[in-house]
Amino acid sequence: MLGGALEAEFRACVHCGLCLENCPTYVQLGVEMDSPRGRIVLMRGVLEGAIDESAEVRRHIDQCLGCRACETACPSGVQYGDLLERYRSTTRPIAGPQSRLLDFLLFSIFPDRRRLGRWVAMGRLSRAIGVDAFLRELDLNRLLPAWMQRLMAMLPSDGGQTEPLVDRYPAMGKLKGCAELFIGCVGEAIFASTNRATVRVLNRNGIEVSCPPTQTCCGAIHAHGGRLDEAREYARRNIIEFAGDDPIVTNIAGCGAMLKEYGRLLADDEEFAARAARFSARVRDVSEFLAQGDLAPFSRPLAAKVTYHDACHLCHAQGVRRQPRELLRAIPGLELIELSESEMCCGAAGTYNLTQPELSSELARRKLGCIEQTGARIVATGNAGCIMQIRTAVAEAGQSIEVVHPIELLDRAYGGA
């Protein structure tokens, strides 16, 4: 028997099945063991020793996106994301194919934005000189592992490193407050321009922004892969680095969700528990932060039909749904069209598009189908992974739909740089 808090968490599931139709893998595959209810039965059975952790069991658990749509749907308050992380921490270090190169990439390159930046620069260079086009032309890309093909396809050509970030950006006009910016690893290595747009929009709204220079990875990749000790170490380093009292603002839903979990992650750490809880209480998604007050007047209307995709780690993990929509509707000329299945995962799910490329692509195509129905030419979404995933689906379908972070649309309406 499990006993203790974990037992109580599993017992919270009363097997009602109300989560099933909200689970993307159940909707896509129609298999009970690929639903939250089925996976809870499997995880509990393995941990209690009643079920062997066979390849089939692993497949069902690995196919979980960790999107937490089941938590939104569950009337019993099952903390599915926490159960999954704890299960993975006691069974295997990571879901998905056990490729040493993939592990190295996920756990050594991705969390280090400088190393990741160098890999991204190499990837962009190889695309610029036509290496991946050459491989595709000769059909040689099929010889590469599926995750590597996805990675090559997803790398955006623009948005990379511009000028280095400085420690402090003063507010424009009357000072209304201060914020510390969490820049993220993928965020800064691949979407540096989104971080710059975030700083400009905050400054225009009277917010002085500081960027703690030695801030590190949020630890989400490690936590979701069950490497909780490594995630805790990243959390401690960030808590030390963001030592002040100002709000901590991020534009990346996945990082924001993780930063808000530090209190729980370090609850048993005598030295850090209280500091972690205080740190998490300071974290805000940039849309949450800006929607708290009146926006500064915009200088340029943006006549465009825009739809909005709810990133899972913003809507399900953080409960942030209203604020990004309010900000987009505030832009003069912008028409916001609601997206059907907006809260259904696009298949990005952290590193899922690398570990489960086929199912991930199916979900991306499903998302694109919903986007096409809106007639919008711009999709806004608050997570770097979703942006890459949906952009890839758009490109593969030969569409010309722009996929951006909402903050970039606000920045355009303020006149940009």
- 330-364 burial, b at 16+ Cβ within 10 Å, e below that, comes to ebeebebeebebbbbbbbbbbbbbbbbbebbbbbb
Q: How far is residue 410's CA from residue 155's CA, in Å, rounded to a whole number?
A: 24
Q: Given the rule CB under 6 A, which of 36-44, 140-148, 291-299, 387-395 is the region that contacts ligand SF4?
A: 36-44
CA separation, residue 154 to residues 118, 223, 382, 384 (Å): 16, 23, 17, 11
Nearer to ligand SF4, 159 or 226 (CB): 226
State residue 49 phi and psi, 5-degree precision: 85, 5
15 lies in the site for ligand SF4, by CB under 6 A = yes
30 lies in the site for ligand SF4, by CB under 6 A = no
322 lies in the site for ligand SF4, by CB under 6 A = no
Nearer to ligand SF4, 74 or 386 (CB): 74
Residues in 38-57 at the binding interface with ligand SF4, rule: CB under 6 A: 39
18 lies in the site for ligand SF4, by CB under 6 A = yes
Choosing from 65, 199, 276, 331, the residue that interacts with ligand SF4 (CB under 6 A) is: 65
Q: How far is residue 307's CA from residue 316's CA, in Å, rounded to a whole number?
A: 19
Nearest residue to 38 (alpha-carbon basis) of 60, 58, 56: 60
H or E, element range at 403: strand 402-404
Nearer to ligand SF4, 69 or 154 (CB): 69
78 lies in the site for ligand SF4, by CB under 6 A = yes
25 lies in the site for ligand SF4, by CB under 6 A = yes
Please state at what angle helix 36-48 crosses helix 55-62, rounded to 10 degrees: 140
66 lies in the site for ligand SF4, by CB under 6 A = yes
Nearer to ligand SF4, 16 or 101 (CB): 16
286 lies in the site for ligand SF4, by CB under 6 A = no
Q: Given the rule CB under 6 A, which of 66-74, 327-335, 353-361, 408-416 is the region that contacts ligand SF4?
A: 66-74
SS3 of 86, please?
helix
Instruction: Identify the residue whose tokens are 């500091």.
Output: 275
Kindly tell me the sign of the dihedral angle through the C-alpha atoms of 366, 369, 374, 377: positive
80 lies in the site for ligand SF4, by CB under 6 A = yes
Q: Which residues bind ligand SF4 (CB under 6 A)?
A: 13-19, 23-25, 36-37, 39, 64-70, 73-74, 76, 78, 80
